[in-house]
Amino acid sequence: MKQILGRLLSFSVLLGLGALPSLAVDRVVSSDLPAETQPDSPLRVTVQASSNVAGGEYVGFFHAEYSIDGGQNWTGICYEAKSGTKVERGVTITTGKVGTKVVVRARTAFRGGMAGDVDYDGGAINWDDTWSMWRTPPTRYWIAYVR
């Protein structure tokens, strides 16, 4: 009888755990840049960042830039601070000649939560290294080939 009760209790606990809602941490940094684009034409580019982490976490810094010459020169899309739990910014650019690339980059520091200043993977921000040099993480890159 003890074995049956023990098994029922174990089964009940497992069943109860399966019914709990998912507590997934979701930090997002994204762009709608297509993989390919037309030469010498307008292109609308948007970048987004968001956090669903409880405890007051928000998009503390959100910097985004684009390049129409494959990353040689950069133009700002936004340099936001204290943007709340979600931010989206956009710009319309003119693409270059066939064979060039449009590159978009965005770096995000999530702040205010229990984890401190973190990147999209939840790792601590290294302000003097990866942050200042636009490295991954906390930076994400997207490339569109002009064809």
**Bond prior to 34 in cis (omega within 30° of 0):** no
What residue ranges do the domains of the chain occupy?
24-146
Nearest to 113 by CA among 100, 122, 103, 101: 122
User: Tens of pLDDT along the chain (147 residues)?
Assistant: 555 545 544 444 444 444 444 457 799 999 999 999 999 999 999 999 999 998 999 999 999 999 999 999 999 999 999 999 999 999 999 999 999 999 999 999 999 999 999 999 999 999 999 999 999 999 999 999 999
pLDDT at 13 (0 to 100): 41
CA distance linking residue 23 with residue 1, whole number of Å: 36
6 — alpha (psi -120 to 50), left (phi > 0) or beta? alpha
The CATH topology of domain 24-146 is Immunoglobulin-like (2.60.40)
pLDDT at 4 (0 to 100): 54
Dump strand ranges (E) for 6-137: 27-31, 36-37, 42-51, 58-67, 75-81, 86-94, 101-111
pLDDT at 2 (0 to 100): 57
pTM (two decimals)? 0.82
Where helices occur in the chain by DSSP H, the ranges are: 2-19
pLDDT at 22 (0 to 100): 47
pLDDT at 33 (0 to 100): 97
Tell me phi and psi for residue 6, to 5 degrees: -65, -40
Token duo for residue 35: 């993989």
